[in-house]
Structure formats: C-alpha cells, structure tokens
Amino acid sequence: MDFLVDSVMKVVKPNGLITAFVIVGVLTWISYSASKYLTKGRIHGSAIAIVIGLVLAYVGGEVTGGKKGIADVTFFSGIGLMGGAMLRDFCIIATAYGIKLEELKKAGLAGVLALVIGVFLSFVVGGVVAWGFGYRDAVSLTTIGGGVATFIVGPVTGAALGASSEVIALSVAAGVVKSIAVMILTPLLAKPFGLTTPAAAAVYGGLMGTTSGTAAGLAATNPKLVPYGAMTATFYTGFGCLVGPSICFVIVKAIVG
Amino acid sequence: MVIYGLMIMGLCAIVGNTLGEMLGKLMGISANVGGVGFAMLFLVLVTRRLLEKDQLSKLAQSGILFWNAMYIPVVIAMAAQQNVVAALKGGWIAVVGGLAAVFVGFMLIRPLTALADNSLPLDDEETA
C-alpha cells in the first residue's frame, strides 16, 4: 500500500496542475449529475460544485491550519495554481470575448453609480455593525467597514490608519464571509431581485465588489452575465482602497469624534 | 494558430493590469485599479476590430474560447482554496457585517438597474 501511495505521490507532486484538472473534473461531474438527478435541474451544477469546493476549503483549513483551503493539502496543491489569481483573471478576461458593447453602454451610468454607492454602503453597513458590537473608535470602525467592502480594502485601510492587528484580522474575516455569501446566495436571490439582464449584472458587480464572489455567483447563475458583473467589480477594490483611509475615515471621524 | 488568441489575450491582460497599477500609484494606493476591467475592454475592442477585418482565424478564436470555457472550472478551484475557516472563526461581527452588506446590495439591484436603458435578458443556455 505504501508502495502505491509513494509512487502516486511521486507523480502527483510535480504535476499539481494536471492533478487539479482531474479533481475539478470529477467534482464537476458529480455536481452536474447531482443537479440533474437530485434537484431535477433546479439548482445549477456549478452552484453545487462551488459549495462542495467551499466545503473542501473548510476541511483543508481545519486539517492543515493553513490559509489556502484544500490547496494546503499536498495532494490538492495544484488547485492553488488552477484557482489562483493568475488563471482566474485570465479566464475573466476571456469571458469578455463575446460581450455586447451596446449592453455595456446601456449599463454604463447605472454601473458607475452602483460602484460608488456599493463602496460607501459597505463602509456604512460595516461601521454600523461594528458600532453595534461595541467598537467606538474611528480607526476600527473604518477598518471593519473596509473589510465589509472586500477582504483587501479592509487590511489596506487598517494598515493606512494604524488599526490593531485584531481589528485587521476581523476585517479580513468579514470580507471573506461576504465573498462566500455572494457565491452561495447569488444563484438563489438572482431571479427575485431582478439579476437577469447585463445591466443588472453590471449594477450587481458594482454593489458587491468582491471579484471572487461575483465571479462564482454569476457563474452559478448565468455564465453569460459574468463579463458584465466582473467589469464593474474589478474597479471596486481599487476605489475602496482609495476612499477608505481618506474620505470614509474623515466622515466616520466627524461622526464619532 | 491557437497561440495567437492567447497572445492577444495575454497582451490585453498585461497592458490592462499595467494601466491598473499605474492608476493605483497615481492615486497613491497600493492596489490595482480596474486592471482586469481595462483588459476586458481592450479584448472586446481588439477582437471586434480583427473580426471586422476577417483577421482572427477560427483557431486563434478557439484559443480565447478555451479559456472562456475554463472559467467555471477555475472558479470551482478558486472556491476550494478560500479561507473558509477564517471566515467562520471571525465571529458574529464578521458574519453579520458580511451578510448585511450582501442583502442590502441585492435590494439595490432593481432600483439602480432602472437607471439603465432597456436591457434585455440573455438566454441562459449551458456554456460550460
């Protein structure tokens, strides 16, 4: 048995990406079969696959104590490359092929407005929730607000303002919760909340902002909407990092003193 | 050639992300501002131009379409490496904050979309 395991691992280790193709392929096959036979197509196969992925990520994190989910387990390390920022962004760019410029123009103003409202709204929601949990200083409130924007805006804002490492960690956690919530909830909430058109997808991307969340959420809802949502979401984190430690902090400070 | 499709897309990615980095630096923040978005826009404009001139071969297109189709599998792999443990260990403040932002965001989709001109639903046939 050891002989077999050793031999397999010797092949798998330097072939991580190829192993990842096989693993994700099997996962996709199981998920799409489950979608077809267990839910009669009511729940999209990719939505099931993403949820299984998140469960695997939880298991990986618990087992290894690492930060990269199942990718921290040696056998699954190729998942890290396959689902990492490089290929993710490359694939998002590829989805733009076939985008309808007319649709994008229609969504233009609404998308930009959604982006601005979305970022400020996150700071408001995050700040209010943090206040509710007993935080009173402007630095912590703004940092947690930034985390509610995305898990990048939080630490960038916190670092700029000199927040405590505990608050920065909290802001990252809030951002990750949001991103995961967007992945899981989007396919369920899309229809009732009118997320059916390219313009709505652009608005949604601006409001949610998390690139990974919107990427997965739209994939599980309607892959054709992906480029419109991704387009606005990609400006969100940058804009959040810009206004977080500046305008938002000044406003929060003016309110709480 | 398939590689031409990848070359075009790679070029758009590099130019777009460089632009995003420069924009970030000019604003004095340590983040890429819209790099991927610019890259997407470039890809749309460049491929449209090439298609009009009939200079984008079927093979070159298939190089782009392959990654287009790989999108969902890559997103599944991405989900599998999220720091889910940290999200759950962050406590109630992280959970409440993250969820509240998502719900409030969803409520605003309809009113904000109303500002856009009549956008029509796309048919949601299987692409993956």
Instruction: Using alpha carbons, select from B81, B125, B121 the residue that is nearest to residue A100.
Output: B121
Residues in chain A with CB shorter than 8 Å from the CB of B123 are 224
Report how far residue A56's alpha carbon sits from residue B15's, in angstroms, rounded to the nearest whole number: 35
Q: A-B interface: how many C-beta pairs under 8 angstroms?
A: 353
Interface of A with B in 2-41 (CB under 8 A): 20-21, 24-25, 27-28
* Token reading at B21: 């980095």
Question: Is it the case that residue A201 has pLDDT exceeding 60?
Answer: yes
Residues in chain B with CB shorter than 8 Å from the CB of A173 are 86-87, 89-91, 94
> CB contact, 8 Å: A97 with chain B?
yes
Mean pLDDT, residues A94-114: 83
pLDDT of the residue at B121: 66
pLDDT of the residue at B126: 44
pLDDT of the residue at B127: 43
Q: Is A128 exposed, middle or buried (0-12, 13-18, 19+ CB in 10 A)?
A: middle
> CB contact, 8 Å: B26 with chain A?
no
pLDDT of the residue at A42: 74
Report how far residue B41's alpha carbon sits from residue A94's, in angstroms, rounded to the nearest whole number: 11
pLDDT of the residue at B120: 63
Q: Look-up: residue for tokens 């990427």?
A: A215
Secondary element (H or E) of residue A15: none
pLDDT of the residue at A239: 84
Closest chain B residue to the Cα of A108, Cα to Cα? B116
Mean pLDDT, residues A233-251: 86
pLDDT of the residue at A236: 86
Of B86 and A125, the structure prediction assigns the larger pLDDT to: A125
pLDDT band at A63 (very low <50, low <70, confident <90, very high): very high
Q: Would you tell me the crossing angle of helices B2-27 and B35-52 to the nearest 10 degrees?
A: 140
pLDDT tens digit sequence for A227-237: 999 888 888 88
A47-to-A83, A140, A180, A226 alpha-carbon distances in Å: 16, 35, 12, 14
Q: Look-up: residue for tokens 């190729």?
A: A78
Exposure string for A80-118, b = 16+ CB within 10 A, e = fewer: bebbbeebbbbbbbbbbbbbbeebbebbbebbebbbebb
Q: Does residue A122 contact residue B97 with C-beta atoms inside 8 Å?
A: no
Report how far residue A244's alpha carbon sits from residue A200's, in angstroms, rounded to the nearest whole number: 26
A21, A26, A31, A34 alpha-carbon torsion, rounded to 10°: 170
pLDDT tens digit sequence for A4-23: 988 988 898 899 999 999 99
pLDDT of the residue at A223: 86
Mean pLDDT, residues A46-59: 89
pLDDT of the residue at A253: 86
Domain boundaries, chain A: 2-83, 101-256
Instruction: Using alpha carbons, select from B117, B37, B118 the residue that is nearest to residue A95.
Output: B37
pLDDT of the residue at A159: 83
A242, A246, A251, A257 alpha-carbon torsion, rounded to 10°: 150
Angle value at C-alpha A109, between B69 and A122, nearest 5 degrees: 80
pLDDT tens digit sequence for A128-160: 999 999 899 999 999 999 999 988 888 888 888
> CB contact, 8 Å: B101 with chain A?
yes
pLDDT of the residue at A145: 94
**Positions of chain B with pLDDT lower than 70, given as ranges:** 30, 117-128
Closest chain B residue to the Cα of A118, Cα to Cα? B105
Report how far residue A18's alpha carbon sits from residue A25's, in angstroms, rounded to the nearest whole number: 11
Angle value at C-alpha A180, between A101 and A163, nearest 5 degrees: 100
Angle value at C-alpha B128, between A25 and A93, nearest 5 degrees: 105
ipTM given for this complex? 0.86
pLDDT of the residue at B118: 63
pLDDT of the residue at B117: 65
CB contact under 8 A, A88 and B78: yes
> CB contact, 8 Å: A70 with chain B?
yes
Percent of chain A predicted with pLDDT > 90: 40
Q: Does residue A123 contact residue A145 with C-beta atoms inside 8 Å?
A: yes
> What average pLDDT does the structure give for chain A?
89
Residues in chain A with CB shorter than 8 Å from the CB of B111 are none
